[in-house]
Amino acid sequence: MIKYFASDLDGTLLNADYGWDTILDEGMKAILRDGYEFVVTTGRTIAGVKGCEGLWALPVYVIVMNGALILDKDKTTLFRGAIKKRTVAGILDAMPHANLEFFTEDKILTMLPRKKYIEEYMKWDIWRKKVLDNGKSGYLDEYLSRFHFQAKREEILKSDILKINGLELHQDKRADLLDRLTMFENDIVNASFDSNVFELTDRAISKASALMFLAHRKQWDKQKIAVFGDGGNDMDMLMSFVHSYAPENAQEQVKKVVSEIIASNDQYGVLKKIMQIAADNRRKHTPI
C-alpha cells in the first residue's frame, strides 16, 4: 500500500502557470490530514519553493536543487552536498563566457551583469513564462533579489556551490559546452529538465539518491513510495521506484519509463492520482 508521495513541481504538481493555487492547497491538506507523507523533489532553490507560499507552509519534506539539499518537515536541513571546489574552478576555466548560475544554499551567484542576465534569459520561453509573465506585482525584482550579479571568481570559489545551471539556446554552442563538461564527468552529473539548459550537481547527488536518503532516515518502505515527474531530471527517481507516474505533458523519454501515465499538470493530474490512491486505500480499509 502506498503511504508516501514524492513529486516534482514545475510541469508536474504545479498548475499550468507554475503556481500553487486553492485546488492544490485544499487537496494537499486533505491528503496530509489522512496521515500520508509528502516530499517535494525539485530543481528549484529554497527561495523558488518559498514562492509557492501555501506549499512551503505545509508540513512536507523538501528536496531542492535536484537533491543537493534536503529539508525536514520543519524545514531544518537534513543533508547538503556541495560540488568540489576544484570542479567549480575547472568549470569556470572551461567555459568563461557561458551563462552560468552558481547556487549556494541561500543565493545565486553569476558573473553576468543584471541587464545582460535578463537579456539572455528572456529569450528562453520557460524563464519568460515563469518570471516575466508572472502575474504577481513586483515578481521580477523579487526573483532577481536572490542573485548576486557580477560575482567575482574568488567569491564563487569561496562559496559552497550546491548546483550549477547553464543556459544556451544555440544548438552548436550548447553542444560545445556539453562537450567541455565531459572532462568533469567523474565529478558531476547533468540532470537537466529542459534541453536548453544543463543542471550540474555532485556526481553522487540526484533526486533518486536524495529520496533514498530520506526514506532510509525515516525508515520508509521503498515499496510504499509513489513518485511523480515530467522531465529529464526526474528520470533516475522514476526508474528507482515501482510506483512511478508521469503526466501526459511529460517528455517522451520520461513517459517510457513510468508505470503509468496520468492526466497533465494543467488538469491537476498528480493531485487527482494521489487522491485516487487514498480513496482506493479507504475502500480496502487499509490503515496508513
Each residue of 227-267: pLDDT tens digit? 999 999 999 999 999 999 999 999 999 999 999 999 999 99
Q: Same domain for 223 and 147?
A: no
Q: Same domain for 72 and 94?
A: no
How far apart CA 83 and CA 102 sit, in angstroms, is 10
At residue 286, the pLDDT reads 65
Q: Same domain for 152 and 198?
A: yes
- Give, as one character, the DSSP assignment of residue 129: I
Mean predicted confidence (pLDDT) in 39-48: 95
Percent of the chain with pLDDT over 90: 84
Place of cell 504538481: 13
pLDDT category of residue 132 using cuts at 50, 70 and 90: confident
**Are the beta carbons of 12 and 228 closer than 8 angstroms?**
yes
Q: 60: buried, middle or exposed (CB in 10 Å: 19+, 13-18, 0-12)?
A: buried
- When comparing pLDDT for 72 and 194, which is higher? 72
At residue 205, the pLDDT reads 96
Question: 3-class SS at 284?
Answer: coil
CA dihedral 213, 39, 126, 112 (to 10 degrees): -50
Of 236, 258, 264, 257, the closest CA to residue 245 belongs to 258
Is 32 domain-assigned? yes
From 144, 173, 202, give the residue that closes a domain: 202
pLDDT beyond 90 at 77? yes
**Are the beta carbons of 110 and 102 closer than 8 angstroms?**
yes
Q: 222: buried, middle or exposed (CB in 10 Å: 19+, 13-18, 0-12)?
A: middle
Q: Same domain for 90 and 71?
A: no
Q: Same domain for 31 and 50?
A: yes
Return the axis-axis angle of helices 269-283 and 22-33, rounded to nearest 10°.
Answer: 30
pLDDT category of residue 143 using cuts at 50, 70 and 90: confident
pLDDT tens digit sequence for 153-193: 999 999 999 999 999 999 999 999 999 999 999 999 998 88
Sheet holding 108-109, edge to edge: 147-148, 108-109, 99-103, 163-167, 197-202, 188-190
- When comparing pLDDT for 131 and 3, which is higher? 3
At residue 22, the pLDDT reads 98
pLDDT beyond 80 at 134? no
**Are the beta carbons of 71 and 78 closer than 8 angstroms?**
yes
At residue 193, the pLDDT reads 81
Q: Same domain for 92 and 195?
A: yes
How far apart CA 278 and CA 288 sit, in angstroms, is 9
Number of compact structural domains in the chain: 2
Mean predicted confidence (pLDDT) in 184-211: 93
> In Å, what is the CA distance from 6 to each residue of 3, 36, 178, 203, 242?
10, 11, 30, 22, 13
How far apart CA 48 and CA 110 sit, in angstroms, is 17
At residue 287, the pLDDT reads 66
pLDDT beyond 70 at 217? yes
**Are the beta carbons of 249 and 265 closer than 8 angstroms?**
yes
Q: Same domain for 268 and 243?
A: yes
Q: Cell numbers for 88, please give them.
A: 567549480
Say which CATH number the domain at 257 has.
3.40.50.1000
Is 120 domain-assigned? yes
CA atoms within 13 Å, Cβ hemisphere of 121: 25
From 156, 177, 202, give the residue that closes a domain: 202
Average pLDDT over the chain reads: 94
Q: Cell numbers for 127, please give them.
A: 524563464
pLDDT category of residue 108 using cuts at 50, 70 and 90: very high
Q: Which residues contact 122 (CB under 8 A, 6 or more apart)?
A: 128, 132
Q: Cell numbers for 96, please give them.
A: 568563461
Q: Same domain for 181 and 91?
A: yes
Mean predicted confidence (pLDDT) in 55-64: 98
Q: Same domain for 15 and 58?
A: yes
At residue 135, the pLDDT reads 62
From 202, 221, 253, give the residue that closes a domain: 202
Q: Same domain for 195 and 98?
A: yes
Q: Same domain for 238 and 170?
A: no
Residue 225: which domain range?
4-80+206-283
Is 288 domain-assigned? no
Q: Same domain for 197 and 211?
A: no
Is 45 domain-assigned? yes
